[in-house]
Chains A and B, each alone.
Chain A
Amino acid sequence: MFGKKKNKDVEIVNEANENAIQNKEIDGLSQGQIVLRRFTRHRGAMIALFTLIFLILFVYSASGIYLGSDKQPFTIQGWWHYKITDHPMLVFGKDCPGGSTGCPSLNLNPFSGKFGFGDHPFGQDDIGRDYFALAMRGAEQSIMIMFIIGGIGGLLGTVIGAIAGYFRGRLDGFLMRLTDLIITIPSLIIGAVIGYKVGNLGVVVLGLYLGIFSWTGLARLVRGEFLSLREREFVDAARVAGASNRRIIFKHILPNAVGIIIVSVTLSMSGAILLETALSYLGFGVVPPDVSLGSLISNYQESFATRPWLFWWPGFFIIAIALSVNFIGDGLRDAFDPRQRRRISKKDRENAKVASKA
């Protein structure tokens, strides 16, 4: 009897051979660890992630944090010596090309005598305000709006999509028609109305309101995912085990849909920063005296021919942030996709060891 049992144990261990080769890569890792591993191997996404983290730290530490509205400000000072409300003397162009005013003092050539930031690294605007301070403040506002829209939109989209997909029936019909209705209204128009109404209440309020209208795409995705996951046998198994609807949704289905949610939210965030920029450009988003990247571009578009740096710097920050976020989203999508395999280079092929012939 004992002998028989022992024999079986040995055989059980052998049983793990199915798909053994494909599973070599993921031996002993949980799902989360597998995703993390795939993500950290995605070079573009990792570079983007570090760029974004660096940008955020740089921007926020430089300009400090300003929350609340004009009436009840909440501020933490940054390390840059100018604020957007300061009006230092406008530098007249001794060194500026073509005799323009307020040109950037940033010099990246280490062999010239003036290497370094200088007093106004990004130059000055028409009335002498430090453009570095303005750009930092603008980037700060844009990043904040991006995260708020992403967060609110992600939360609403997940909840609405989950409810619609899990309960189906009439509730699903109602929620999806509501989604259709919101999708049919162009986001710029919604944004313009919201910006017109609440733009002067500060970026947090603006972000909250914009978030309320940007959950539609995610809701549809999550609903689809829930519709297919709820038919899986492990959901039935949980139901037979006596699990309540809430437990099934949060413990069993949602963790399996988290990949699609993270990817979609990330990608929608780069859309959010562009939406904010577009609104501010049109004058509906962040209103003066506060600035955002969009309003900076809008304010100084006429100076493009004579003082192009007033245009470059906000543009650079918009592109850098949107691109980083997009790359991160791309890396996440690859990491969550189980079919994604790394491409094998010629070098890999040559360097590969041959496993012992088991």
Chain B
Amino acid sequence: MTQAKEPILKVENFNVEFWVDGVWYPAAIDMNYQVGAGEVLAIVGESGSGKSSSSMGLMGLLASNARTTGSVKVKGVEMLGASNKTLRTFRGREVAYIFQEPMTALNPVYTIGFQIIETLKTHFDMTTEKARARAIELLTMVEIPNPEKSINKYPHQLSGGQRQRAMIAQSLACDPSLLIADEPTTALDVTVQAEIIDLMRNLKDKLDSAVLLITHDMGVVADLADRVLVMKDGLTVEQGSADQIFNRPVHPYTQQLLAAVPKLGSVQSRKLVVPADAKPVLRLSDVTIEYPKRGRVPAFTAAQGISLEIFPGEILGLVGESGSGKTTIGRAAIGLLPIKSGIIEVAGNDISHASLKDLQAVRRHTGIVFQDPASSLNPRLPIGESIGEPLFLAKIAKGDELNRMVEDLLDKVELPRSYRNRYPHELSGGQRQRVGIARALALNPDILIADEPTSALDVSIQARFLELLQELQEELKFACLFISHDIAVVEILAHRIAVMQHGRLVEVGDRDQILRSPKDPYTQKLLAAVPVPDPAEQKIRREARKALAG
């Protein structure tokens, strides 16, 4: 017992490979690491680096076209090649997973209580009453309000944060000695994310479990991890203590990755002088947007009393959490959604109650970049055709001239001209988003609506994308409504920032004023919740946030 502490998880020469078309392609190569009790090891890397497949591979949870080699020991027991029975006793009992999407990881037809009780009864010889009592205890532990009532709720009746808590409660049901959290906060808003991170830290200390945290968010890593392992293309690039990785990274990739993370409060101020007589490109005045009632579902007011102005050449950042109505405003601003009351003017044209025909004219002045690069391009059209469509429909060009203009646009967004004939599925997320910009800028719009264009992208790709957007904006001088949930991203681009909560604008002001001296308590809370990729600074911010919360 008193010997050197045996690590909970010990991984040696671990390889994951996928079979594709007669060839094994490596997803994770030669991984070596261990996690001790009460320790948090974060595996960071961009998408496709193999961090998720390697963690799923630990317990044999990969698809049938994968194979794993090497050695994975949990509490000294070899997991690779172990029988299904051994694996089953270890899964849930000793090793628990927390997944990214709580809505898909919880079964929607059972109550959360039932699902926790089921886990308990699988692994222990327990009566239902006892298991129920334990489930309530667990829900109390993860700080779900009113656990006696919540235990009978279905997943859809809980908010995103509460669902994630319920899932954590389920995975903690058997006091696992190893907790594998795969992007546990990615689907959550920053303020909720901060709460979940706090919860995980407290639980880890209380239960003394080992935690394997898989994430791409350096802020979360700084907040939680003791040690960090950086992966790229399946290879372990660097491994070390959090302090070492953040403050003295050795490998150039780690340095590049850290440099790409937008850091709140690190960007020089961008001032824009708007001439006094300038007319706004986009003007919203007292706009209310309502989703009409459908059947028995009552009407829902998504935004109300919104007044905004964007001047030529200006970037306005619109921040808020999910459900705050920011996307709704973006879509209404280009006439994709009807408004209930108020006035929207685009480039001097009132589109508040415009007919389809009037909108056609206005659409020459607007462009939009969508959030999800996977869904914003027609999978059946080559991207050249997608980019050229606005030009073709506006009857500006066709034939060879259209091709030439499409090539110009591809040059502008720094994609090879040969990509004209490729299909969206052949492109990476970042490249698709560039195509999205090229399409939005095809008509040389006065105003560009960018609806969370970077939220699906990796940090380094995001950094390059933001740089590109900035360059294009300086060159073409379009006004831009930049919608994002990430304040650090908005900080890089915006001249002014507007903050939304529950369908209302709580604060609008200059970038520096909002970031340095926010007046509204919600803005203050939002800013305090953003994790900063620096363990020392994050610790100070954490204390500050606690003080703010009282």
Contacts and interface: CB of A to CB of B under 8 A. Distances in A.
Interface of A: 5, 8-9, 11-12, 15-28, 30-31, 232-234, 236-243, 247, 251-252, 255-256, 341, 343-344, 348-349, 351-355, 357-358
Nearest to B256: A11
B375 A344 contact: no
A238 B378 contact: yes
B368 to A, nearest CB: 5
B25 A241 contact: no
Interface residues of B, number: 63
Contacts of A239: 336
Nearest to A351: B22
B475 interface: no
Given A22-B20, A31-B423, A357-B29, A17 B390 contact: no
A234 B20 contact: no
Contacts of A238: 378, 389
A141 B281 CA distance: 67
B138 to A, nearest CB: 34
A341 to B, nearest CB: 6
A20 B377 CA distance: 19
B378 A31 contact: no
Interface in B360-384: 360, 363-364, 366-368, 370-372, 375-382
A23 B425 contact: yes
Contacts of B336: 236, 239-240
Contact of A352 (B22, B363, B390, B394): B22
Contacts, number: 143
Contacts of B372: 233
B363 A343 contact: no
Contacts of A354: 17, 23-24, 26
Contact of A15 (B24, B64, B431): B431
Contacts of B375: 232-234
A240 B22 contact: no
A348 B64 CA distance: 13
Contacts of A344: 19, 64-65
A21 B18 contact: yes
Contacts of B24: 352-355
Contacts of A341: 63, 65
Nearest to A239: B336
B401 interface: no
B20 A12 contact: no
B461 A15 contact: yes
A30 B368 contact: no
A269 B24 CA distance: 40
Given A21-B25, A31-B379, A358 B233 contact: yes
Interface string B411-439: 00011100000010111111100001001
A265 B17 CA distance: 39
B428 A18 contact: yes
A353 B394 contact: no
B262 to A, nearest CB: 18
Nearest to B385: A251
28 contacts: A16-B428, A19-B47, A19-B48, A21-B20, A22-B18, A23-B425, A24-B21, A27-B426, A30-B382, A31-B423, A233-B375, A234-B375, A236-B370, A237-B370, A237-B376, A238-B389, A239-B336, A240-B336, A240-B366, A241-B363, A242-B360, A247-B393, A341-B63, A344-B19, A344-B64, A344-B65, A348-B22, A352-B22
B19 A349 contact: yes
A211 to B, nearest CB: 27
A233 B376 contact: yes
Nearest to B49: A17
Nearest to A27: B426
How would you classify the secondary structure of chain A's contact residues: helix, strand, loop or mixed? helix
Contacts of A232: 375
Nearest to B368: A240
B528 to A, nearest CB: 32
A10 to B, nearest CB: 11
Given A30-B423, A31-B379, A240-B336, A24 B20 contact: yes
Contact of A25 (B21, B27, B367): B21
B464 interface: yes
Contacts of A252: 378, 381
B378 A8 contact: no
Nearest to B439: A237
Residue of B25, B65, B414 contacting most chain A CB atoms (<10 Å):
B25
B425 A15 contact: no
Contact of A16 (B29, B46, B431): B431
A348 B19 contact: yes
A144 to B, nearest CB: 32
A236 B372 CA distance: 12
B376 A234 contact: yes
Contact of B27 (A21, A240, A247, A256): A21
A19 B46 CA distance: 11
Interface string B10-52: 0000000111111111110100000000000000001110000
A31 B394 CA distance: 28
A234 B378 contact: yes
A262 B26 CA distance: 36
Nearest to A354: B24
Given A19-B48, A241-B363, 13 more contacts: A12-B415, A16-B427, A17-B233, A18-B458, A22-B18, A25-B20, A234-B379, A236-B336, A240-B363, A242-B364, A354-B24, A354-B26, A357-B26
B310 interface: no
Nearest to A8: B414
Contacts of B394: 241-242
Contacts of B381: 251-252
